[in-house]
Amino acid sequence: MLTVAVIFGGRSAEHEVSLVSARCLIAALDPARFKIVPVGITPEGRWVMPRDLDTALRDGLAGVACEPVALFPDPTRPGFVVGDGARQVPVDCAFPVLHGPYGEDGTIQGVFELAGLPYAGAGVAASAVGMDKEFMKSLFAQAGLPQVDYLVARDRGDDIDGVLGDVENAFPYPVFVKPVNLGSSVGIAKAHDGDELRRALVGAFAFDRKVIVEAFVDAREIECGVLGNARPEVSALAEVVPANEFYDYEAKYTEGMMSFVIPAGISAAQTTEVRRLAAEAFLAIDCAGFARCDFFVERSGGRVIVNEINTIPGMTDMSAFPKVWEASGVPYAVLAERIVELAMERHSLLSRLRTSRD
């Protein structure tokens, strides 16, 4: 039996989504094969072990009794110390279901590396690149992947008028405005005119020092899952059908506000192209374990465009990632087990690399 630490919550605007992902993941992991060690990270950044996991995942960490917990800094004995440090909990693998900064951006992955603890998902560099849309798009461009036109404004939250002018000189309305380092559509807005653009920029800069503005493309939104390490496999495709004007936070996480069409109703040639580009995007950032890739397929012309890659996709019952794999013949329980296996496989490979000249 493997002991898996499921890390959830986090110091991020996506904290609540992480709780739901963790609840679904823990329910899916076979208790005959996996012993779960729940580790929550509060919105303030404290690491805790809740005494009532069900309540913590349903109502939040603030409403339950918790013990402080810390990662044990000894690669020869990976695990956690609980309470006053007298109790150590050995762990075979960490499974972070943290969305956004301080969890999906390479920071916690670096902590796992220092502690010698195998972990699910992408490594430090791929996680950082996958979180930062500017860096991600740069690597996609280097790999020759098709993308929408965009511009990035850095540290210009006090120069909204200047950014607005740059955007209007570059693109016609509408445009999409996004914080560079957030997911789950947090802080994203579609701006149809100058007033909306101003509000969108102010809102996005409240979440991040870097903001990306993308040209609008009239397209269908397609998502797929990727699973693997050096030889990634790609799932069936889903078309996103939001109730709102675009696929925003409300549409993603409110029952009845969006639906998926699986398989996506695009042509066989477009399906092949999406799957090819998904594997290329995964490899372009040196991803590992699992990811979700998002695409646009133009309504006029049918061109396939890479939107982004998400290195810790949502794992909720409403999320696309488990749904597309289920449609591919991989139910949630098997998917979760496979992600843990990939984590152990990658750690085994990396542990054989030399760390000295002797």
Same domain, 15 and 73: yes
Question: Is the bond into 174 cis (omega within 30 degrees of 0)?
Answer: yes
Q: How confident is the model at residue 13 (pLDDT cuts 50, 70, 90)?
A: confident
Task: Quote the pLDDT of residue 257.
Answer: 63
Sheet (strand 219-228) strand order: 258-261, 233-242, 219-228, 289-298, 304-310
Q: Which two tokens stand for residue 354?
A: 């030399």
pTM comes to 0.91
* The total number of structural domains that make up the chain: 3
Q: Is residue 353 part of a domain?
A: no
Confidence label for 117 from pLDDT (cuts 50, 70 and 90): very high
Q: How confident is residue 9, by pLDDT bands cut at 50, 70 and 90?
A: very high
**Quick one: tokens of 180?**
């560079």
Round the average pLDDT of the chain to a whole number and report it.
Answer: 93
The pLDDT value given to residue 256: 55
Integer Cα distance of 104 and 183 in angstroms:
9
d(CA 58, CA 176): 33
162 and 266 share one domain: no
Q: Is residue 324 part of a domain?
A: yes
Q: Does residue 238 lie within any of the structural domains?
A: yes
Q: Note whether 49 and 108 are same-domain residues.
A: yes
- In this structure, the answer to whether residues 242 and 202 fall within a common structural domain is no
- Residues 110-138, mean pLDDT to the nearest whole number: 96
34-41 and 2-9 beta bridge pairing: parallel
Domain check: are 25 and 98 in the same one? yes
Residues in CB range of 41: below 8 A, 6 or more apart: 7, 8, 9, 10, 11, 47, 48, 98, 102, 103
Q: Where are the alpha helices (DSSP H) in 222-331?
A: 249-253, 268-284, 320-327
Per-residue exposure over 199-215, b if at least 16 CB sit within 10 Å of its own CB, e if not: ebbebbbebbebbbbbb
**Phi, psi at 197, each rounded to 5°:** -65, -40
Amino acid at 135: F
Cis peptide before 43 (omega within 30 of 0): no
Residue 353 pLDDT class (50, 70, 90 cuts): confident
| Assigned domain for 136 exists | yes
pLDDT tier for residue 253 given thresholds of 50, 70 and 90: very low
Average pLDDT over residues 328-332: 97
pLDDT at 252 over 60: no
Burial class of residue 196 (count of CB atoms within 10 Å of its CB; 0-12, 13-18, 19+):
middle
Model pLDDT for residues 62-88, shown as the tens digit of each residue: 989 999 999 988 888 899 999 887 789
Q: What percent of the chain has pLDDT over 90?
A: 84
Buried b (16+ CB within 10 A) or exposed e, 127-155: bbbbbbbbbbbebbeeeebebbebbebee
Same domain, 239 and 134: yes
Determine the pLDDT at residue 72: 87
In this structure, are 138 and 283 located in the same domain? yes
Residues 166 and 42 occupy one common structural domain: no
Band the pLDDT of 244: cuts 50, 70, 90: low
- Claim to verify: residue 17 and residue 71 sit in the same structural domain: yes
Of the candidates 215, 235, 262, which is a domain's last residue?
Answer: 215
Average pLDDT score over residue span 244-255: 52
Pair 260, 301 in one domain: yes
Q: What is the mean pLDDT of residues 310-328?
A: 95
Confidence of residue 317 (pLDDT cuts 50, 70, 90): confident
CATH of the domain at 89: 3.40.50.20
CA atoms within 13 A on the CB side of 318: 18
Output the domain CATH number for residue 186.
Answer: 3.30.1490.20
Summarised one tens digit per residue, pLDDT across range 159-202 is 999 999 999 999 999 999 999 987 656 779 999 999 999 999 99
Q: Are residues 136 and 273 in the same domain?
A: yes
pLDDT of 248 over the 70 cut: no
Residue 354 domain flag:
no
**What is the mean pLDDT of the segment spanning 267-293?**
98
The answer to whether residues 115 and 72 touch, using CB atoms and an 8 Å cutoff, is: yes
Using CA of residue 142, residue 146, residue 149, residue 153, what is the dihedral sign?
negative
Q: In the chain, what percentage of residues exceed pLDDT 70?
A: 95
Judged against a pLDDT cut of 50, whether residue 239 lies above it is answered with yes
Residue 247 has pLDDT above 50, yes or no: no
**Residue 226: domain span:** 130-146+218-348
Is residue 236 domain-shared with residue 164, that is, in the same domain? no
Amino acid identity, position 140: F
